Amino acid sequence: MRIAVLGVGLIGGSIGLAARRRLDAEVAGYDTDRALLGRALERGAITEACESVSDACRGAEIVFCAAPVGVLPELAAEALAASGADTVVTDVGSVKREAIAALGADPRFVGGHPLAGAETAGVENARDDLFEGARWYLTPTPSTGGVLYDRAQGAISAIGGRPQAIDAETHDRLMAAVSHLPHVLANVLVAQAADALGAGESERIGEVGPSLRDATRVAGANPAIWADIFAGNREAVAEQVDAVAERLRGAAELLRSGDADAIAAWHAEAASGRRLLLEEELEGARLCELRVLVPNTPGVVAEIALALGRAGVNIEDMGLYPAADMRSGAISLYVVGEEEAGRAMELVRGLGHDVSQVER
Amino acid sequence: MRIAVLGVGLIGGSIGLAARRRLDAEVAGYDTDRALLGRALERGAITEACESVSDACRGAEIVFCAAPVGVLPELAAEALAASGADTVVTDVGSVKREAIAALGADPRFVGGHPLAGAETAGVENARDDLFEGARWYLTPTPSTGGVLYDRAQGAISAIGGRPQAIDAETHDRLMAAVSHLPHVLANVLVAQAADALGAGESERIGEVGPSLRDATRVAGANPAIWADIFAGNREAVAEQVDAVAERLRGAAELLRSGDADAIAAWHAEAASGRRLLLEEELEGARLCELRVLVPNTPGVVAEIALALGRAGVNIEDMGLYPAADMRSGAISLYVVGEEEAGRAMELVRGLGHDVSQVER
């Protein structure tokens, strides 16, 4: 099998590596960045470095467009122009409506979006197992050719992805809610907190709680990626943002009412809602949070993680909360299932630390 | 010195332990929960278990009221009624206006709020160093007696706290912005995401990103504590919530405008804003985020944390991001300063992992 990869960064490079290993494919690569193309060849992510899009597409059964979101529709259009009737062209953009509006009528185009690897960049970080078990959305339209669609989804399965058809609009709305919206909220919360702190006297600044830190972790992250995403999915994201603003008005009203029972019910609903969201993610198992009080010294995280690791208890998530003196603090450990939680607590107690399970 | 502690949970118990060790104080304890009072005596957090508030207050130089926020004003009023002219009564509530409105005219009352230990509960978790280096807000009023105020703040210093005077209104507004608001946002975001996911077809659910997980970490946390806080600080929190709703309207408008430069500027501002917020917290040092790609197996966190610990590199914060297949993933490590970051990267690379510094 021969495939083309246009854009050989983390995603394109990983597609190449996986296709070589799993499909024994020849991989024609192209990138506007010639140095990057050279590194991709060195890494073995591609078998051939091409001079142009049309060179890369020549004879390819599948063309993967893996450039930044903002240029994807244009790149895919170029790939379609350069490809014959029996080539399927797909992309990896995290926003899909625009590409589908432009190219969805072409039977050879299938929009795609693997949920993997947006955290690092560069072909240096490419891995042949990046897509192992990862949801890979595909957005066929009524015009999409059945044989070509089947070829794309078969290849994606073969390189480890879990293809799932979804219409472009639903996809973009879903991503707006679970991925793009939290980034907007984090940005806004930073601005609000900065204002509130600035408004106090300066000697009162500096007591930023762990909740603010967690809530703003993604603020301003990966500007190159997010500028494109915000631009490409602006309608759906704006809609989600408006909906949250509306909910906040409601929450403010609820708080002002002082109705303790209603406030408690609203708070409890959030607890169970989050548990459900995370349980979905963990396929049904209950995520338990353990809170450990520790000295804030090098080695303490290792000591705990090692004790759990030795006993085969996997830590799904972890949060560190240094105390004000930076000499002590708390660690939240998230493990799956009550049994694991019980074992973890015993192990941590055995190390002499105070630990308790956080009830939600 | 003789002090009274009314309410002997985590905070009250820790005050008792610290006062015994640092001030060699006699500690008269009272709690509506007799069993808890017994455990506090066993732990040595108090030296005497009293039958009533007035028994506990008799002869005390300082009375610390450490019950849940909702009952604090009432408890403090009872303590004031039971105390003589030379006793200072203080509390530890995370909301201050209500108590000050009720009791601020009494020269013997000083509102207080230590920023410590809200994460766990129970006298079992009490520690004599819980307040070491922790900001401890005090809210004196024009009526507050100078000698009594000085005694309270001296004792707080002695048990490790860093007392700071602040007026009750500013305190509540500050806490609303940096602590209470993120909890409201997390609750609202959970509701929004649950709706958005529920609105899709059920087989499309289950792809909740790490950004949503971080942003909702405190959703529905500690219901007993938060119901009181939301009720006690409702005006200030509602004001912050309204302000964020307004900001979100602006963000939605900005997104809809499609003005790429303005969106990029807004995003960049969030990045620098967050860095500033965290730098305040870390007293001027720059917090660096390193992203490590790892297999998601027991022991890998330990391996990395141990390598850093051995080399004396402290991990300030950590986030785990399992990939969809739950067999691999990324770890974010936050360390202070470029030099530490460089050393950490070398150490992690030495273990054979891909690591990169995340630029903001």
Q: Which of B113, B246, B263, B281 to mutate to test the interface with A (most CBs of A within 10 A)?
A: B281
Q: Which residues fall within 8 angstroms of residue A241, CB to CB, at 6 or more apart?
A: A181, A184, B248, B251, B252, B255
pLDDT over 80 (residue A210): no
Residue-level pLDDT at A194? 82
**Domain CATH number, residue B354:** 3.30.70.260
Query: What does the alpha-carbon distance between residue A94 and residue B41 come to, in Å, rounded to a whole number?
Result: 59
Q: Which two tokens stand for residue B56?
A: 């506990």
Given a contact cutoff of 8 angstroms between Cβ atoms, the answer to whether A294 and A323 are in contact is no
Q: Which residues fall within 8 angstroms of residue A61, CB to CB, at 6 or more apart?
A: A1, A2, A3, A86, A87, A88, A151
Backbone angles phi, psi at B356, to 5 degrees: -145, 155
Q: Which residues fall within 8 angstroms of residue B277, CB to CB, at 6 or more apart?
A: A190, A193, A194, A197, A208, A212, A216
Q: Token pair 């070829």 is at which residue? A: A151
In a domain, B281, yes or no: no
Sign of the alpha-carbon dihedral angle for A325, A326, A328, A329? positive
Residue-level pLDDT at B205? 39
Which residues numbered 166-225 in A keep a CB inside 8 Å of some CB on B? Answer: 166, 170, 173-174, 176-179, 181-197, 200, 203-209, 211-223
**Domain CATH number, residue A194:** 1.10.3660.10
Given a contact cutoff of 8 angstroms between Cβ atoms, the answer to whether B8 and B38 are in contact is no
Residue-level pLDDT at B124? 86
Mean pLDDT lowest for which of A164-168, A179-183, A297-301, B229-233?
A297-301
Given a contact cutoff of 8 angstroms between Cβ atoms, the answer to whether B197 and A163 are in contact is no
Domain boundary among A145, A166, A187: A166
Given a contact cutoff of 8 angstroms between Cβ atoms, the answer to whether A25 and A2 are in contact is yes
In a domain, A11, yes or no: yes
Given a contact cutoff of 8 angstroms between Cβ atoms, the answer to whether A55 and A18 are in contact is no
In a domain, A115, yes or no: yes
Left if phi > 0, otherwise alpha if psi is -120 to 50, otherwise beta: which for A141?
Answer: beta
DSSP letters along B230-243, please?
HHHTHHHHHHHHHH
**What is the helix (H) or strand (E) element at residue A89, kind and residue range?**
strand A88-91
Residue A227 touches chain B, beta carbons under 8 Å: yes
Q: What's the start-to-end Cα distance of chain A, in Å?
A: 52
A122 & A213 share domain: no
DSSP letters along A23-51, please?
H--EEEEE-S-HHHHHHHHHHTS-SEE-S
Residue-level pLDDT at B285? 59
What total number of domains does chain B contain?
A: 3
Q: How confident is the model at residue A88 (pLDDT cuts 50, 70, 90)?
A: very high
In a domain, B280, yes or no: no
A-chain residue closest to B267, CA distance: A220
Q: Which two tokens stand for residue A296?
A: 């804030």
Q: Which of B200, B218, B269 sits opposite A170 (nearest CB)?
A: B200
Question: Mean pLDDT across chain A, nearest whole number?
Answer: 86
Q: Which residues fall within 8 angstroms of residue A150, CB to CB, at 6 or more apart?
A: none
Query: What does the alpha-carbon distance between residue B352 and residue B148 come to, in Å, rounded to a whole number?
Result: 61
**Domain CATH number, residue A11:** 3.40.50.720
Q: Do B242 and A252 touch (CB under 8 A)?
A: yes
Cβ-count burial A16-28 (b if 16+ within 10 Å, e if not): bbbbbebbebbbb
Query: What does the alpha-carbon distance between residue B344 and residue B350 come to, in Å, rounded to a whole number?
Result: 10
**Cβ neighbours of B207 in A, within 8 Å:** 115, 135, 174, 178, 281
**What is the helix (H) or strand (E) element at residue A357, kind and residue range?**
strand A354-358
A143 & A178 share domain: no
B202 & B299 share domain: no
Residue-level pLDDT at A239? 94
Residue B76 touches chain A, beta carbons under 8 Å: no
Cβ-count burial B13-37 (b if 16+ within 10 Å, e if not): bbbbbbbbebbebbbbbbbeeeebb
Q: Do A204 and B164 touch (CB under 8 A)?
A: yes
Residue A353 touches chain B, beta carbons under 8 Å: no
Given a contact cutoff of 8 angstroms between Cβ atoms, the answer to whether A11 and A123 are in contact is no
In a domain, B333, yes or no: yes
* pLDDT > 90 fraction of chain A, expressed in percent and rounded: 51
AA identity, residue A151: R
Q: Where are the alpha helices (DSSP H) in chain B?
A: 10-23, 34-43, 53-57, 72-82, 97-103, 146-158, 168-175, 181-199, 210-215, 223-232, 234-257, 260-281, 300-310, 338-350
Angle of helix A234-257 versus helix A223-232 axis, rounded to 10 = 90
* Distance set, CA A186 to CA A49, B179, B247, B264 (Å): 40, 14, 12, 15
Residue-level pLDDT at B211? 75
Query: What does the alpha-carbon distance between residue B5 and residue B57 come to, in Å, rounded to a whole number?
Result: 8
Each of the 360 residues of chain B gets a pLDDT tens digit; together they read 999 999 999 999 999 999 999 999 999 999 999 999 999 999 999 999 999 999 999 999 999 999 988 899 999 999 999 999 999 999 999 899 999 999 999 999 999 999 876 555 788 889 898 888 788 999 999 999 999 999 999 999 999 998 888 889 989 988 898 889 999 999 999 888 888 777 544 333 345 566 787 788 788 887 777 888 888 899 999 999 999 999 999 999 999 998 988 998 999 999 888 877 766 555 555 778 888 888 766 677 778 888 887 888 877 777 777 665 556 677 888 888 888 899 999 999 999 888 888 765
Q: Which domain holds residue A186?
A: 171-257
Sign of the alpha-carbon dihedral angle for B34, B39, B41, B45? negative
Q: Token pair 């907007």 is at which residue? A: A184
pTM value is 0.74
**Cβ neighbours of A116 in B, within 8 Å:** 323-324
Residue A234 touches chain B, beta carbons under 8 Å: yes
What ipTM describes this predicted complex? 0.73
Nearest CA distance, A223 vs chain B (angstrom): 7
A9 & A105 share domain: yes
Given a contact cutoff of 8 angstroms between Cβ atoms, the answer to whether A309 and A356 are in contact is no
Domain boundary among A166, A187, A204: A166
**Cβ neighbours of B234 in A, within 8 Å:** 255-256, 258
A141 & A205 share domain: no
pLDDT over 90 (residue A307): no
* pLDDT > 70 fraction of chain A, expressed in percent and rounded: 89
Residue B337 touches chain A, beta carbons under 8 Å: no
A322 & A346 share domain: yes
Q: Do A214 and B219 touch (CB under 8 A)?
A: no
Domain boundary among A147, A166, A185: A166
* Distance set, CA A195 to CA A251, B178, B271, B277 (Å): 21, 10, 15, 11
A193 & A302 share domain: no
Helix (H, G, I), strand (E, B) or coil at B161: coil
| Closest residue by Cα to residue B179 from B290, B94, B86 | B94
B182 & B328 share domain: no
B319 & B179 share domain: no
B187 & B120 share domain: no
DSSP letters along B79-106, please?
HHHHS-TT-EEEE--S--HHHHHHHTTS
Tens-place pLDDT, residues A341-360: 999 999 999 998 888 887 65
In a domain, B264, yes or no: no
A8 & A156 share domain: yes
In a domain, B334, yes or no: yes
Residue-level pLDDT at A285? 59
Backbone angles phi, psi at B143, to 5 degrees: -85, -15
A115 & A230 share domain: no
Mean pLDDT lowest for which of A63-77, A224-238, B77-91?
A224-238
In a domain, A281, yes or no: no
Q: Which of A94, A173, A185 to mutate to test the interface with B (most CBs of B within 10 A)?
A: A185
| Closest residue by Cα to residue A211 from B189, B178, B270 | B178
